[in-house]
Structures are given as C-alpha cells and as structure tokens.
Structure 1
Amino acid sequence: MTNTDWPFDADRDDPLTALRIPVTSFAPGWLYTACFDRESEVRPTDAEALVIASFIEQYQERWFGNGSWRRKQLAQAFDMDCRTTTVFHKWAEGDWSYRCVTWERGPLWIPVFPRQREGEYDNAKLPAHTLVQVMDRVHHMHTEYPSKQWAEWKAQRPDIFGEPSR
C-alpha cells in the first residue's frame, strides 16, 4: 500500500528529515534546495547534518528572503528551489562531493569519485573535500573565493561552522 500523504521522493522516516534535509537519490524528482544522497557510503555526523541544514537555510534566506515564498516553504517538510537541487554525497570521513541535478556534461560529482581522482576531468585533480569545502564551491563560488554572503553566514555561526580562520 502506498502512503499518499507523503508526496516527496525523500525518505519520510530518516532522522535528517527532522532537520528539513531530504534523503533521496543522486537525481531527485523534486527541486529541493539541497539533499543528502542515500547511496552515500557514510552517513553525515550530527555536526555535519547541522551544516547541511544551515546551508539550506542560508540559500533560502539569500534568494527568497522572509516573504511569502519562505512562509510557503516552511509549511512543507522541505525547502524547494526553482532552478536546481544540490545533492551532497559522503564517501568517507572528511570526503564529500556534490552535484547539481541540472548538470548535463562532465563528471557526476565534484570532486569526482575517489577511484577516479587523477582521471580525465579537471575536477579529478581535486583532493578529498570536507563538507564545508564542498559547500564553498557550490552556489557560493563566484571566483576562487566563496561569496561574501556565505563567508559572513559561516562566521556568524561558529557553533555550527567553527571559528573562522584568520
């Protein structure tokens, strides 16, 4: 029997759902702001889960503010975007990748699968990244540095991201 009161393709009973983090596939059917790939080799720690939740919150606040769209989002189980979903994948402790579901060419993950590093793609040369390093590359990367808004967001939340490096 199918439960029709849960329209999402995310796992309803996953503990991350309580933090508004969808746990779904590498190609979700909904335009979540961000989600965690259920096929990851390792689950996020509690601290990493808070980082993902904060990433989603920052993205929503930056792009949609606190108006009617945000109120509509908060009434749902998860936050949505209108363009793409960022999917986070954890290979091992301290080894994360991401992808945007709208990508049509290039590697599936950045950084690529650990066994493909030093391979054919420029992004294969990237070493393992922590979750925050991956997030620095996502929507926040406009040059070689993360955006000012993202850097300020992290600095204002040392309980989640740690003290900013000087």
Structure 2
Amino acid sequence: MTDTAAWPFGTDADRDDPLTALRIAVTGSHPMWCYLVAFDRESAARPTDREAAMLAAYLEEYKTYFYGPDDSSGYRYKMARRLLDVDGGANGVTFHKYGEDDWGYRRRTWSVGPMFVPPSPTYRKAFPSEAVGPLTLEQVMDQAHDTWPKRWQDWKTAHPEVFGA
C-alpha cells in the first residue's frame, strides 16, 4: 500500500508490517482503535512464522464464534471490507512477545494491574514468589480463553496444521 489516504488507522497501526497481511494489527500496548487481535510493536521479539499463523488462527476463531460464517451478509462481511478487523463492542486482545517462547497479553478494557499477563521477565525476577511464566504463545492463548476453554480446545484440535496434534 502506498496511498496513505487509504489507510484509515493513521499511526495507530503499522500499515506495511507483514502481520497486517494476516489482519493482525501491529500497534502499541494501548491502541486507539478496537482491533480484535493486535501485536504490540514494542515487543522485544517478533513472532515466528508459526506464531504468526497462531495469531491469525486466534483471530479466525474469534470471528467465527462471535460473527458466524464468512458470508456476504452481517457484520463479519462489513468488517472484512476493512483492512483490519475492528469492533467497538469487542474486548480485543493485544499480544506481547518478551522473548523466545515468552509471551503476554492484555485485553483492551484493562485499566489496572500489570500491563500484560503474565508480567514481564523483569517483574518475574523482582517478585519470584508471584512469578508466572514464561509462557508460550499457545499457553497465553489458552489463558486468554479461560472463560471458554472447551470451545478453544475444540478449535485447536480442528486446526492441527497450526497447533499440532
């Protein structure tokens, strides 16, 4: 994309990042837009190709469950016409990668507590008795789905090409 007028997200999301092609917003820890799934550009490391596929699968599971099939009607269809998936009524997730197999996440609506869960390696070192982590991306996604664990496990089982056997 070279036309800046065609990019409605301004500097909030990185237009030319490879994750954008997967509809994953690359943004800060507190994005202005209500992205369904985002990756924190301030992360210490980038997702591997496998992790990028997992982020895309996480997004697809969310859209399938909450918006139904990818047809030519309804909000999912309208959302697909945008360059990234946004919904002001959704409590989107921003993922942060501290390092290899060390991930955290935050919900858009969180206003107190640590920035990401699990907290940073620096926090874990300072407070080892409270330490949780490091966690892989899949473990963090499992934790983010703690309200609907069966639904998420069924999705992962149905997508071994992303999540393995």
Q: Same fold (TM over 0.5)?
A: yes
**2:110 is the counterpart of 1:103:** yes
- The share of aligned pairs that are identical, in percent, is 44
Moved segments of 4+, more than 4 Å: 118-122
**In the alignment, what sits opposite 1:64?**
67
Aligned letter for 2:136? T
**In the alignment, what sits opposite 1:137?**
143
* Aligned-partner Cα distance in 2 for 1:83–1:55: 14
* Aligned-partner Cα distance in 2 for 1:74–1:131: 25
Instruction: From the two aligned structures, give the one with the greater helix fraction.
Output: 2
* Aligned-partner Cα distance in 1 for 2:6–2:160: 38
Aligned letter for 1:80? V
Question: How many residues end up aligned between the 2 structures?
Answer: 157
Query: Are the equivalent residues in 2 in contact too, given 1:97–1:134 (CA < 8 A)?
Result: yes
* Aligned-partner Cα distance in 2 for 1:78–1:120: 37
- The 5-angstrom pairing of residues 11-160 of structure 1 reads 11-66=14-69, 67-81=73-87, 82-117=89-124, 124-138=130-144, 140-142=145-147, 147-160=149-162
Deviation at 1:106, TM superposition (A): 0.9
Aligned letter for 1:141? D
Q: Deviations over 1:13-56 (max 9, x none)?
A: 00111111110100111101010000000000011000000101
What's the secondary structure of 2:106's corresponding residue?
strand
Q: Deviations over 1:81-112 (max 9, x none)?
A: 32322100001110000011211111111000
Aligned letter for 1:30? W
Q: CA RMSD in A?
A: 1.9
Q: Which runs of 5+ in 1 are unaligned?
A: none
* Aligned-partner Cα distance in 2 for 1:98–1:105: 14
TM-score, with normalisation over the residues of structure 1?
0.88
Deviates more, 1:100-109 or 1:46-55: 100-109
